[in-house]
Amino acid sequence: MTVVDSGPTAQRAPGLSSDPVPPGAKVRILETADRLFYSEGIRTVGIDRLISESAVTKATFYKHYGSKDRLIIEYITGRHLKVIDRYNRLAAKARTPHDLIPLLVTGILADIDKPGFRGCPFLNAASEFPDPRHPVREVVSMHRDWTTDVITAILRSIGHPMPGDGADDIVLARDGALSGGYAGDPISSSAAFKRTVARVTSDARA
Q: pLDDT means per 10 residues in the chain (206 residues)?
A: 34 37 80 97 97 96 96 98 97 94 96 96 97 96 98 97 98 98 96 97 84
Domain assignment present for 7? yes
Domain assignment present for 82? no
Q: For position 16, what pLDDT does the model report? A: 35
Q: For position 206, what pLDDT does the model report? A: 62
Are residues 56 and 108 both part of a single domain? no
Domain assignment present for 190? yes
Q: For position 6, what pLDDT does the model report? A: 36
Are residues 110 and 168 both part of a single domain? yes
Domain range holding 27? 1-74
Are residues 107 and 187 both part of a single domain? yes
Contacts (Cβ under 8 Å, ≥6 apart) of 141: 1, 132
Domains held by the chain: number: 2
Domain assignment present for 67? yes
Domain assignment present for 87? no
Domain assignment present for 81? no
Q: For position 158, what pLDDT does the model report? A: 95
Domain assignment present for 83? no
Predicted structure pTM score: 0.85
Are residues 112 and 26 both part of a single domain? no
Are residues 113 and 195 both part of a single domain? yes
Q: Are 32 and 19 in contact (CB under 8 A)?
A: no
